[in-house]
Amino acid sequence: MRIAWALVLLACAGAAMGLERPAGPTVNHYAVEFQWGSPWGGELEAILGGKVRLDASSSQPKGFTSKLYDGNTGNLESPTASFLIFDGPRAVVRIAVPEWREVGSIAVYVLEATRSSKGALSVSFARQGSPGTRLKFARRVIASKAGLAHVEYRSLPGAALSGGEFVVTYENADFSSAFVGEVALDGLASNAPWADPATRGSRLLYWRHWDVPAQRGTARLHALMIKTDSSGSRARDVTPAWLAHPVVGDGSPLPLVVLFQDPKTVDGALELLGLAGRPEMSLAGRLVEAGCAVLVVDVPAPSASEAPAAHAARIDAVLLQVLEGAFAKHGRIAIDRQRMSIWGYGTGTSTVLLAAVPGRYRRVAISRPASAPNPSEASRVKVIGRPGASGDITAEEARAIAEYLAGSTTPR
Amino acid sequence: MTRLEAACARACLALAVASSSAAADFASIDPFATHNAFVDGKPALVLRLLVGESLAIAAQSSAPLASIARLYDAQPGRLDDPASTFLEFDGPRASLAYRIAPWRRPDAFALTALEDASAAAVVRLVHRGADGRSTPLAVSRRIVERRGEAVVAEYAAGPGLSLAAGTLHIDYRAPRASHARLGEFTVDGMGLGRPPATTAFVGKSEQWMSHHGERECPRVRERIGKLGPDPASRAVLGALLAAPHPGLETRLVYWKSVRDPDRKLTTHAFILKVDDTGNMLIDYVRAWLVVPASAKGALPLVVLSHQGHLYAAMEPLGAQGEVELGVAAELARHGIASLAYDAAPFGTPRASFATEYLQYYPASGTTGKDLDNLKRLLDRVLDPRTRPMAGAIFDRARIGIWGFSYGSWISMLAGALDDRIRAVAFSSFHYRDSDIARGLSDSLYIPQLACFASSAPPPISTRRILREYGRNALAVAPDAGLLSEWTAGLADDRVLVVVNPFGHVVSPFERSFVLEFFYRAFTLRARSPVEGPVHVMASTVAEMAPYIQRENRWRDELVKAIKAP
């Protein structure tokens, strides 16, 4: 009888960790907004929460599995607090990798004996329905103390891995328990610059989407987190963004409008989506109804004071991801590059004027700039809303902004 | 649903469609806006939900020259800064339409405006019900602020209106002025930020004791009998066990349902007004009711009480935080509804026990407040009025609670004190007897717990909790065998499980143990069969061997620890 109930529990344990998370459309915004215990805690929690689970053959951890992706690789000063401790020497962890995610590297951080360690790591990656491929690793001792070694196993550079599952099997007879500090994808666990060539460049880290009833059918909202820099600073390197668009059955290319909010406002980009703040600012939903795809680029609060050039670089990197990156490959949204517009608000107008320099956008509009555009800019920039005027944009101005930006949707 | 409710619902739907602008509504998919609105602690973000989502500029109005959000920014308008605190219109007439949902029943409205002292505006408030009948409301005027000839005038209707579903039309015509200038539109006084004198809240517990406490809860009476004559202890106990603010009616002020077709459930986000300090972080408790899509008959309900973290209720709901603590969807999969709520003062980064609560409730701090909030939440969820919105009814004989860390503290007390809660589980409640001062009598432990003024752990041990619960309580580390013996032996009393009382963690296995606990407890007690899939049994005994060994080892450790001097 006892075994029967235990069997029931085992069945539960297997099912417990496989559920997709019911994240809301603002999780990407809040993941970067606050510090969640460790440098990369918020982002990693959003990116990997629900995607890391134990294999049935693993011994059981005596703690939360999130310790495997909390941005803390472990340390020898406090191994019992910084490593996930299993109740046996064998730890087997599965990490689901979505089709759109291109993982360039994986690293596993463990605790081993300094001398003659019996620790052995094996990592395979298998696409659904295919046999797994074993990855090769380089072992490096990060630190050692009193017979204990903090060890990093890092995969050797190879092709980007996507649409499958890592199976990380670690066995160590050095101790009665396996100690695993972190399972890091693409170096997302430290504040060191992204030196590994496999992890440099723009990368799509987080992607959720929802369908919303619209007056003309259905609208789709994609919440994204994109790696837009390689500095090692969470506030600089990760940019939240949203792409909203009408769902079109024929796959015809959509005009694109990029919206950039004043990064110093309280609600940030969420206002533009109608998820916070002033209703007049909810331009995204209005433009989607007008038939446009809308890209809203957010700036995390800790980075609000960055130079406009840095913000412009974020916009470029996000746009590149949408046009040519993994998102473009898997999003099944055709964007008409000849019909792109951009709009900025408040102190965000300087950023938009910089981002628009290459002449990529057919229409450039700004509202409430600190000062009127200089003569060289005036010819290509439409100012909607008096320069320097205090107060919010009015409902009429919001309508004018939407009409002007949507007006660029007519094919040339 | 009655015919009247159905008519109201249809009317509201029609109004919603008519008033929506041509924009895709991305807010309709966000069940956590009610949490996020409080994160920054800014009343304007909260009022956007509570007032702004139902308020629109009417077609006949002059055009506003700034955002309508100024009408619900918790700023009635100031004469020293009229340009940025009043919403100016490009003509003398300002018309608004406020949509009233069937469950809302607002009692009072007020509108402030910048005017000339000698010229009162013409203000009409007309309620148009779902049946199309129009009723004008009596409006009173008073001067809030005066500076020379300029005044801030407040036009008010109510209290005591209790308006039914429909629309309130507000028509303001400025006298002898080219522009209307409105400050704030308030419903039931929300966002006015006028806390009563702090002293009014000191001694709430004494009020409760004298008016309600002993009558409402036999357990309270029993425990009060054990207490010494110390009036402070008695007062604290009162604060803990029931309403910190007994005279205040709970009011439902927000409700939004978000369907999740993938996981076959609906999340109902709602906000209750539970207090009237004037501090929105205290006065409004946000909660989420997760209901399985295939809800039939009376559903069992588990309250999920979260740990002290910024994620707050989003963690047990599974949206954020530790995956092991997110159980709402899994419970729904087994036909069990759940109720999560943002405990005071978590969910707001800058709020703390000291800054937000102790000035109002110096004796009980957040503990008393959370217990009161939880009591009010359960009252409302179990109220028949909730059925039309939730699309479900809940089985009063099958109410459970699970908490982790701070949530386990609340779960333990709520389970002990609220007779409606029949199955109690709490995890990581690892306070030791050594924390208790020597010589402290058993009967005083609750008042001691109540003084939760610092971050020091409450001085209570698992052993004491178990003693309080009586014979059907077992302290178990997760053990499949014990769970079986225990649930099979249940009589008619309440049941309790303590999961991992030694560490501040919940492992994947412990998570499944808690789920199984509620499943077993509710199934065994079922008055009607629970709909939905049942657990699938694993296939081989060999698969279970390591688990059994491990659980037995943990149980041995537990027994050893309890026996230790």
Contacts of B64 in chain A (CB under 8 A): 394-395
Highest mean pLDDT among A13-22, A140-149, B99-108: B99-108
Q: Which contiguous run of DSSP H or E holds residue B543?
A: helix B541-563
Closest CA to A342 of A308, A288, A394, A295: A295
State the nearest Cα–Cα gap between B319 and chain A, in angstroms. Answer: 5
pLDDT confidence of residue B132: 93
Average pLDDT, chain A: 87
State the nearest Cα–Cα gap between B113 and chain A, in angstroms. Answer: 18
| B535 contacts A8? CB cut-off 8 A | yes
Closest CA to B292 of B328, B337, B251: B337
pLDDT confidence of residue B452: 30
State the DSSP code for A14. Answer: H
| B262 contacts A20? CB cut-off 8 A | yes
State the Cα–Cα distance between residues B87 and A16, nearest whole angstrom.
52
Closest chain B residue by Cα to residue A393 = B66
In the block, tokens 């020293």 appear at B80
Contacts of B24 in chain A (CB under 8 A): 212-215, 219, 244, 246, 284-285, 288-289
Contacts of B65 in chain A (CB under 8 A): 391, 394
> By three-state DSSP, how is residue A213 classified?
strand
Sign for the pseudo-dihedral over CA of B46, B49, B52, B55: negative
pLDDT confidence of residue A330: 94
ipTM field: 0.91
- Top pLDDT among B365 and A162 is at A162
Residue to mutate among A9, A87, A390, A397, with most B CBs inside 10 A, is A9
| A45 contacts B321? CB cut-off 8 A | yes
Cα angle A232-A234-A237, degrees, rounded to a multiple of 5: 70
pLDDT in tens, chain B (565 residues): 444 444 444 444 333 333 345 789 999 999 999 999 988 778 899 999 999 999 999 999 999 999 999 999 999 999 999 988 999 999 999 999 999 999 999 999 999 999 998 889 999 999 999 999 999 999 999 999 999 999 999 999 999 999 999 999 999 999 888 999 999 999 999 987 765 544 344 444 444 334 444 344 444 445 444 444 444 444 444 545 544 556 678 999 999 999 998 889 999 999 999 888 888 888 899 999 999 998 788 999 999 999 888 899 999 999 999 999 999 999 998 899 999 999 876 777 666 554 555 566 654 556 667 888 898 999 999 999 999 999 999 999 889 999 988 788 788 777 766 778 888 887 876 444 333 322 222 322 333 333 332 333 333 444 445 444 543 444 344 444 444 444 444 444 556 676 765 567 888 877 877 887 788 777 653 333 322 222 222 234 454 445 445 545 544 554 454 455 4
State the nearest Cα–Cα gap between B32 and chain A, in angstroms. Answer: 6
Contacts of B507 in chain A (CB under 8 A): 60-64
* DSSP codes joined into one string, B195-255: PPPGGGTTTHHHHHIIIIIHHH-HHHHHHHHHS-S-HHHHHHHHHHHS-SSTTPPPEEEEE
| A65 contacts B23? CB cut-off 8 A | no
pLDDT confidence of residue A343: 97
State the nearest Cα–Cα gap between A119 and chain B, in angstroms. Answer: 21
Q: Is residue A136 over pLDDT 60? A: yes
| Across A13-22, A131-140, A188-197, B424-433, least confident range | A13-22
Closest chain B residue by Cα to residue A222 = B26
| B536 contacts A11? CB cut-off 8 A | yes
Q: Residue B334 burial by CB count (10 A; 0-12/13-18/19+): exposed, middle or buried? A: buried
Distances (CA, A) of A304 to A300, A368, B39: 6, 18, 18
Q: Residue A248 burial by CB count (10 A; 0-12/13-18/19+): exposed, middle or buried? A: middle
- Top pLDDT among A155 and A38 is at A155
pLDDT confidence of residue A226: 96
| Across A114-123, A340-349, B467-476, least confident range | B467-476
pLDDT confidence of residue A302: 84
pLDDT confidence of residue B544: 40
What pLDDT, in 10s, does the model give residues A89-112? 899 999 999 999 999 899 999 999
Predicted model pTM: 0.86
Q: How many residues does chain B have?
A: 565
Q: Is residue A207 over pLDDT 80? A: yes
Q: Give the closest of B260, B481, B547 to A10, CB-based.
A: B547
Chain-centroid distance of CA A412 in Å reads 34
Closest chain B residue by Cα to residue A57 = B543
pLDDT confidence of residue B531: 29
Other C-beta atoms lying within 10 Å of the C-beta of residue B225:
9
Distances (CA, A) of A150 to A77, A367, B154, B463: 10, 54, 68, 39
Phi and psi dihedrals of B548, rounded to 5? -65, -45
| A87 contacts B513? CB cut-off 8 A | no
| A6 contacts B481? CB cut-off 8 A | yes
Q: End-to-end alpha-carbon separation of chain A, Å?
A: 75
Q: Give the closest of B32, B33, B320 to A45, CB-based.
A: B320
Q: Give the closest of A8, A17, A282 to B516, CB-based.
A: A8
Highest mean pLDDT among A26-40, A393-407, B216-230: A393-407
Give the contacts of A290 (CB within 8 A, at least 6 positions apart): A402, A406, A409
State the Cα–Cα distance between residues B170 and B97, nearest whole angstrom.
6
Q: Is residue A131 over pLDDT 50? A: yes
Sign for the pseudo-dihedral over CA of B29, B376, B425, B441: positive
